[in-house]
Homo-oligomer: A and B are copies of this chain.
Amino acid sequence: MANTFGRLFRVTTWGESHGGGVGVVVDGCPPRLDLTEEDIQPDLDRRRPAQSKIVSSRKESDRVQILSGTFEGKTLGTPISMWVRNEDARPEAYSEMATKFRPSHADYTYQAKFGIRNWQGGGRTSARETIGRVAAGAIAKKILRERNGVEVLAYVQQVQRIVASVDSETVKLKDVEANIVRCPDPVAADKMIRLIERARKAGDTVGGIVVGVARGAPTGWGEPVFDRLEADLAKAMLSLPASKGFDIGSGFDGILLTGTQHNDPFRSKGGKVYTPTNRSGGIQGGISNGQTIYFRVAFKPVATVMIEQETVDVNFKNTILKARGRHDPCVLPRAVPMVEAMTALVLVDHALRHRAQCE
């Protein structure tokens, strides 16, 4: 198990779907930052299911409590412990999971690795695990915003075959939050919502793409050769449940261009260097170049479907499983705050690392 992320801004998450709750310890946060639960709760609310007709119906208030690390509303520089209690524990809804492995879930691999698993609601593999990430990410976003002038956001760009048209340079958070699918292209958003509703009715699920964006990052963040900024972003994104791919800037599409077409020429204006194009995605040689950082994350259709599937039981006998309980036809809207959180965690960590060696 590896439940700590980051080198200097270190985030340790804990908790299973069922049990005392889920939480996170943030170590290495700069001192004297204004911080209360009010800074954290909004992102947890965005992450929370049961918000709309297209997402899962788990009933949780997900109220965060800061247990340590602040004093009179300011961070102390000591570890910040945050806790969200589990409320909607319905282990009976998962009783069949005690004896059967859900296809394309982690039941089988956890059992094989650990020789034991908490089958209630997926245990540690539940999406509730991301609560700690989102809570920590809210702090990271605040630091980036207040101390570095960096804005982090994400949005849904594609659901199955429906592709939105969005400009990462200018899109605003309020456009993202303008609809329940968190796609800032209203026309595409409508289509996506209808598609997800159809999937929900069919008991099926759909996947897609979330775009992550960071604007205003200075030149210089990133630690070659192994902790290139895009490498740490890739790891952060692929550590999210259901994610299957990552690309930055021109990404997989960039391979259709030649080098001459692909290169971003440098230009200077008023003593400031910039690139009129940004196929690099804001990172060159593993280090931010001052342009907007943007990348895509592919999320598969989530594995919990309300349709009978072939599988094996814990005795390795072939059997049939029909999932019961919560059905979340599309994880993408909730993945948006997760992508933002992981982006912010990577950037804050690199901001501190850059300061340590180079400033």
Contacts and interface: CB of A to CB of B under 8 A. Distances in A.
Contact of A2 (B1, B2, B116, B227): B227
Contacts of A2: 27, 223-227, 353
Interface residues of A, number: 156
Contacts of A239: 225-228, 231, 286
A206 interface: yes
A114 B358 contact: yes
B105 A285 contact: yes
Interface string A325-355: 0000000000000000000000000001111
A221 to B, nearest CB: 8
Contacts of A250: 244, 300
Contacts of A232: 235
Contact of A357 (B77, B112, B237): B77
A114 B76 contact: yes
Interface string A29-66: 11110000000000000000000000000000000011
Given A237-B234, A248-B245, A263-B305, A209 B31 contact: no
A208 interface: yes
Contacts of A310: 265-267
A52 to B, nearest CB: 19
Contacts of A303: 259, 262-263
Nearest to A221: B113
Interface of A is mostly: mixed
Contacts of A109: 219-220, 222, 283-289
Q: How many copies does the complex hold?
A: 4
A255 interface: yes
A199 interface: yes
Contacts of A81: 14-15, 20, 23
A170 interface: no
**Shortest 8 CB-CB distances between A and B: which pairs?**
A106-B285, A245-B247, A20-B67, A205-B259, A235-B235, A2-B227, A109-B287, A356-B356
6 contacts: A2-B223, A28-B357, A109-B219, A225-B239, A254-B300, A266-B310
Given A20-B83, A247-B247, 19 more contacts: A13-B225, A20-B67, A20-B68, A31-B114, A71-B118, A76-B114, A103-B263, A106-B285, A109-B220, A114-B358, A199-B259, A206-B259, A231-B236, A245-B247, A255-B300, A266-B311, A352-B356, A355-B355, A356-B356
